[in-house]
Structure 1
Amino acid sequence: MIFPVLGVPDMTDSTASPGLPGRLLGDPEMIAACAVRDFAVVFQLAKRKGGFHPSRIARACELTPSRVGEVMKGKPKITNIAVIERIADGLRIPGHMLGLAARSWEQPALPPQRQPTAEVLPALRVENPSSGGELDEILAIAAGTRVTPTVLRSLQASIEDYWRRDDEHGGEALRPAVIGQLRYVTGILRDTADPNHRHSLHGIAGELARLTGWTYFDARQYSTGRAYFTQALRLAREIDDRPFIANVLACLSLQATYQDKPQDAITLARAAQDNACIDGATPRLLAMLSMREAFGHASAHNKESTHRALGDAHRHFERIGQGDEDPAWVQYFDRTKLTVDTGIALGQLGDPTAAEPLIADALRTEPATNLRGRAFHTFWLARTQLDRGDAESACATASQALDLAAAVDSPRVAAHLQEFRHLLRPYRAAPAAVDLIGRINELTG
C-alpha cells in the first residue's frame, strides 16, 4: 500500500519537477529509508524508481558523482546536517521525512523579493563603498579625513567589544552594527592619504569584514559569509598582513568543515599555515591553525592524519612563551580551547571514550559568559555520551545545552540541537528523551 505525502505533487515524469515524484516519496520503502537517513537506499530508489541517475542526484544535491556512487554502495554514510539539508532541498524531500524542520519550499509561495548577493552587498568593495543610509553619511561627513590615533584606538576597542558580544550571545543581532561600522571605515579609508593611517584602517576594515563573514557563517548563510571572508583577504593583502590572512583562511576552513567539504577544509588550513609561517607566526597561532587542519581530517575520518595534526597543535601550544607578540584575535585560543577542540576532533573521529573527559574538563574551566561556546561544547559532551550508549546522561547534558542555546541567537547551535534530536530516535520511548525532544521542537520550531 502506498501512502500519499501531503504537499508533494505526484508527477510521474521525473523531469517535470526539480525533485522526486510524489509517488516515490509516498513509497513505504522510501519513507523507511528517510526515517533512518539511509541515503544509500534513498539514492538507489531515486535511480531505480524515480529515474534519477547519479549525475543528476549529484547536481541536485551539490555533491560529486563519485561521492554519490560511494554513498549508493554504503560508504561513507552521510551524517553532516548541512549535506542532509542539501539532499532534502535538492530532491525535494519534505523535512519531516528526514527529521528536519519544514523546508522553505514547503511553505506557501510568497511574492518574489530581491535578495542581496555577494556582488551587491554595500560594504564588500573598498573602492566603491555605499553611503549605507543617513547615519553612515553623517558619520563619514563628520570624520572627513581627520583620522587620529585616538580614532584608531576607538575603532579597535569597538572590534574587541564585538568579539566579546559575539562569543556571549551569537552574531545575529550584532551583524547590523558591524556592517555599519565596516561601511564607515571603508568610507574614511577612501578619504585618508596618510600611509600609516591607511595601513591601520586596512587592518580594521579587514577585521570588520572577517567578523561580518563570521556572523553570516554562524547564521549558516555560507555563500554570503564566504564573500565577506574574501573581502577580508583582499584588505589584508593590501597591507601584506600574513598572520591575518591565515586567520581568515582558518575561518574559511572551519566553514568548509561545516559544509562537509573536508578536503577543502584541509587545503585552506594548510594554506593558512603557509601564510602564517612567512611572517614568523607565533606558537599560539600555529596551534590554532593545526587544530583547524585536525578538524578537516576528523571530518574525513582520517584517523592517522587527525592525530598527527592534533599532535602538532599540542606541540606548538607548549612552545608558547610570555614574550610572544600574539595578535589580539588569536588570544582566545588558550589551554581550555585547546582541550575542548581536541575532544571535539576525537568525537568527530568516532572516539567518544577519549573525547568525553576532555570536553567535560574544558567545560569546568570555560568562562561562564561564553554562552554560545558553552552551548556548542555541552552539546558535544552530550553527543559523546550518547555515542557511548549512555542515553540518560546524554539527555541530562543536552538539556543543559538547550538552556544555553535559548540564551543565544545562533542558527549553528539550533542545527546541532536538531541533529541531536535525530540521534535520539533509538531512545525516543524513554521519558527523558520524550521530554528533551519536546523542548528541542519548541526551541527550534
Structure 2
Amino acid sequence: MATAYEPRELPSALLTDPEMIRACRTRDFAGIFTLVRRRAGIYGSRIAGLCGMTPSRVGEIMAGQRRLAHIDVIERVADGLRIPGAMLGLARRPWELPADSEVTEVAQEPDEPPAPARAASAPLSTELDGILHRVAGQKVSRSALTALQSSIEDYWRRDDQHGGAALRPAVVGQLHYAQQLIDRTGEGPLRRGLMTVAAELARMAGWAYFDARQYSTARGYFAQALQLAQRVDDRQFIANVLSCLSLQATYEGDAREAAALASAAQDTARHTESPDLVMAMLHMREAFAHATLRSPAECHRAIAKAHTHFERHGSGPAPQWVRYFDETKLIVDTGIALAQLGEHRQAEPLIAEGLRREHRDQQRGRALHAFWLASTQLHNGALEQACSTADSALDLATHVDSPRVVGHVREFHTRLNDHASEAPVVAFEAKMRAAFG
C-alpha cells in the first residue's frame, strides 16, 4: 500500500488526453484534479496528500472557489501527481528520467584495467584457484581447445541476446583458464590454438566492458588481446581489435583517434589472405569516425570502399569473428553513418530496412538500431512516428543488460526536449519511466 506522500504515476492515456493537455496548458487545476479523480481513481484526500495540501483546499480548487498561482505549489502538484513539467510550463522535473537509467563508467565494477600481459592471469577467487589447481595435472588436449572455442561462440550469441553484464565473470574466468593451459603447453599447433582462443576471450572481455561503458577496463583487455594476437602473428585479428578500439573512441568522442585506429587496422589487414569482408567492416568503422568529425567527403569515400569490398568478397572465406558483418549489417551501418553525418533523409530508409531484416534474437542490436531509427525520424519531423519507434525500442531494451543501450535512450530523450508537452512525448516518457523504474 502506498504511503500518503508517495508519488504515483498517472496513466499515460490520461496524460496524453487532449482535455488533460488543455487543462495543464492553461493551469486549470480544477479540471486537472477532476480528470485525475475520474480517470485515475485518485480522490481529493489522496490528491491533497500527494501534493502537500489540505483536503479542504483541494475541494475548493475542484469547486472553482480557489486558484493556484504560486510556483512552488504548482511544482508540488507536478511532482505529487507525476505530471511532466513541460505540460504545466515548468522545467523538467528531477523524476522524469529515473535514476536507474543513469550511466557512468564505473557503474558496477571497479574501473581498473588489467595489466596487458601476465598480471591479468591471477585467479579471480579462492574457489577458482582451487579449480585451476585440480586441473593443473591434466594433460591439455585438442578437446579442451575445441570446448573453449565452442564456449566463445555461445558467449557471443548470448551477448547479442541479453547484453554482456552477466557474461563478464564467465568470460574473464575462461580467459584465466586459457592462460593456465598456455603455460602448461609446449610449442606447437595446440599452444598456438590456445593463444588464439585467449586472444578472442580477451577481446570479448574488452567488448563486454565497452558495452558497460567502463572504457578504461575495456582498453586493458583489448591491449591484452593485441599482445596475444601478435604472439601468433594473426594480423587480421589484430586489425579486428584495433577496430574495436576505434569504435570505442567514437563513443568516447575522440573521432580523430577513431579514424587513426581504423586506418591502422586497414593497413594491418590489407595484405592478409581473403581480407575483403574484414576490410569492408574496417572501412565502415572509419566511416563512423569521419561522420562524427562531420567530414562528408571522407565519410562517403569510406562507405563506398566498404560496399566495394563487401561485393568483392561475395561468399568467400572469412574469419569466424567477422561473419556477423553480412548484407543486413552493411545496410544498417551505412544508415547509421549517414545519420551521424546529418543526412537523415538518406539514413532513415536504410536503418528501417536493416531493422526489418535483423533476426529477432539480436535484441541488443535491434534496440540500438531502433533508437537510431527513432532519432532519424525525429530529425525528419515525424514526431509521432519517432516516439512509436522508440516505444518498440524500449520493449527491446528492457530485455538486455546494456548501459550502452541505456545511453542511447538518454540521448533520444534529450532530443525530445523541444517537444516535451506533446502527447506522443508524454506517452513515451511515461513508458520510459515504467521500463526503468
**Aligned partner (choices 340, 362, 367) of residue 370 of structure 1:** 362
- Contact kept, 8 Å, 2:331 with 2:351, in 1: the verdict is yes
Q: Give the residue type in structure 2 aligned to 1:230.
A: A
Using a 3 Å threshold, how does the CA distance of structure 1 residues 424 and 179 change in structure 2: closer, same or farther? Answer: same
- What SS does the aligned partner of 1:173 have? coil
Residue aligning to 1:125: 117
Equivalent positions of 1:198-347 (< 5 A) are 198-322=191-315, 324-347=316-339
Distance 1:104 1:375 in 2: 15
What's the secondary structure of 2:273's corresponding residue? coil
1:36 aligned residue: none
For 1:142 and 1:412, how far apart are their aligned partners in 2?
Answer: 37
Bigger-Rg structure (1/2): 2
Q: 1:236, 1:242 within 8 Å by CA — same for their partners in 2?
A: yes
> In the alignment, residue 118 of structure 1 is paired with which amino acid?
P
CA contact (8 A) 2:284 2:333 kept: yes
Superposition deviation, residue 134 in structure 1: 4.1
- Report the Cα offset of residue 299 of structure 1: 0.6
Greater RCO structure (CA 8 Å; 6+ sep): 2
Seen in structure 2, the aligned counterparts of structure 1 residues 393 and 241 have a Cα distance that, compared at 3 Å, is same
1:278 Cα offset (Å):
3.6
Amino acid at match of 1:373: G
Q: 2:117·2:227 contact (CA, 8 Å) conserved in 1?
A: no
Give the match for residue 182 of structure 2.
Answer: 189
Q: Secondary structure at the match of 1:319?
A: helix
CA distance in 2, matches of 1:234, 1:219: 23
| TM-score, scaled to structure 2 | 0.73
TM-score (norm 1): 0.72
The residue type paired with residue 142 of structure 2 is P
CA drift of 1:101 comes to: 6.7
Cα displacement (A) at 1:274: 0.7
Conserved in 2, the CA contact under 8 Å of 1:132 and 1:180? yes
> Secondary structure, in 3 states, of the residue corresponding to 2:313?
coil
The alignment yields a C-alpha RMSD, in angstroms, of 2.3
Q: CA deviation at 1:96?
A: 7.8
Separation (CA, whole Å) in 1 of partners of 2:368 and 2:376: 13
Q: Which residue of 1 aligns with 2:373?
A: 381
- The residue number in structure 2 matching 1:403 is 395
AA matched with 1:404: L
Tell me the CA shift for residue 282 of structure 1: 2.1
Of 409, 420, 424 in structure 2, the residue corresponding to residue 428 of structure 1 is: 420
Separation in 1, partners of 2:120, 2:201: 17
Partners of 1:182 and 1:317 in 2: how far apart? 32
Asked whether the equivalents of residues 344 and 376 of structure 2 are also in contact (C-alpha less than 8 Å), the reply is: yes
Deviation at 1:289, TM superposition (A): 0.4
Write the deviation string for residues 41-93 of structure 1: whole angstroms up to 9, x where unpaired: xxxxxxxxxxxxxxxxxxxxxxxxxxxxxxxxxxxxxxxxxxxxxxxxxxxxx
Aligned length: 339
**2:165: which partner in 1?**
172
Structure 2 residue identity aligned to 1:147: V
> How many angstroms does 1:436 deviate by?
0.8
Deviation, structure 1 residue 132: 2.4
Unaligned runs of 5+ in 1: 1-94, 106-112
Contact (CA 8 Å) 2:114, 2:221: kept in 1 or not? no
Contact 2:140 2:184 in 1 (8 A): no
- CA distance in 2 between counterparts of 1:163 and 1:350 reads 32
Change (3 A) 1:311 1:404: same
Identical positions, percent: 50
How far the C-alpha of 1:251 sits from its partner, in A, is: 0.2
SS of the aligned residue for 2:140 comes to coil
